[in-house]
């Protein structure tokens, strides 16, 4: 599945995007769902919003963040 999406935020509110139901459906069908895209495009925001009932763990190496 290759789906493009955008996240729009107004202050602290995140506007629900059409990708949310697709992510939920993919998670029902596959054991792993990956969100990829350019930096600061909203990947973490949408994944944390859609899967809020899961614990979030970052696999990024802290020394590599900039």
φ, ψ at 4 (rounded to 5°): -95, 150
Model confidence pLDDT, tens digit, residues 42-55: 888 888 888 999 99
Helix (H, G, I), strand (E, B) or coil at 31: coil
Q: Which residue has the higher pLDDT, 2 or 60?
A: 60
Strand partners, 9: 14
Q: Given the structure tokens 């930096």, which residue do they identify?
A: 39
- At 20, list the tokens: 């949310």
The string of pLDDT tens digits covering residues 14-51 is: 565 678 888 999 999 999 888 888 888 888 888 888 89
**35: CB partners within 8 A, 6+ apart:** 23, 43, 44, 46, 47
């Amino acid at each position: 599945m290759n789906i493009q999406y955008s996240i729009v935020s107004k202050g602290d509110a995140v506007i629900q995007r059409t990708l949310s139901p697709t992510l939920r459906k993919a998670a029902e069908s596959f054991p792993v769902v990956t969100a990829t895209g350019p930096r600061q495009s909203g990947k973490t925001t949408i994944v944390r919003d859609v899967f809020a009932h899961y614990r979030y763990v970052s696999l990024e190496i802290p020394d590599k963040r900039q």
